[in-house]
Amino acid sequence: MALTKNDNKGHRIIHITGTTATPSSIFTDDKFIDRIVWDGPSTAGHKLSILTGNDKPFYGWTCSVNNGGHDQKLGRFIAGMKIDDMDSGEVYVYYSDA
């Protein structure tokens, strides 16, 4: 299943759903990432892998328990974002324009 994204620019949140095992572009411009939340990954061992626009690793998690999740404050700039691997759940990217 492909990823779907909804960029709520008024609230500066990108909501991403679906699954992927190939790099899928989320945005191509520069953004300051305040926080990333991975909500509801269904199975222990499921992965979320985030790359920069230049395919460099940015952040990744492996779910340790069924229905676990991750909430990470980052405070980092990124030049474009791709999700390389997302096995389940939903991702919320909280950002500021660079």
Read off the amino acid at residue 59.
Answer: Y
- DSSP-derived pairing of the beta strands 70-86 and 47-52: antiparallel
Phi/psi for 42 (5° steps) reads -80, -25
Domain count, the chain: 1
Residue with the larger pLDDT of the pair 89 and 2: 89
CATH number at residue 58: 2.60.120
Contact 90, 15 (CB under 8 A): yes
Backbone torsion region of residue 40, taken as left when φ is above 0, otherwise alpha when ψ lies between -120 and 50, otherwise beta: left
Give residue-wise pLDDT tens across range 24-53: 999 999 999 999 999 988 888 999 999 999
- Whole-angstrom Cα distance, residue 33 to residue 98? 9
Q: Quick one: pLDDT band at residue 90, thresholds 50, 70, 90?
A: very high
The pTM is what?
0.89
8 has a pLDDT exceeding 60 = yes
Residue carrying the six token digits 């892998």? 49
Q: What does the pLDDT read at residue 98?
A: 63
What residues make up the domain containing 58?
A: 4-97
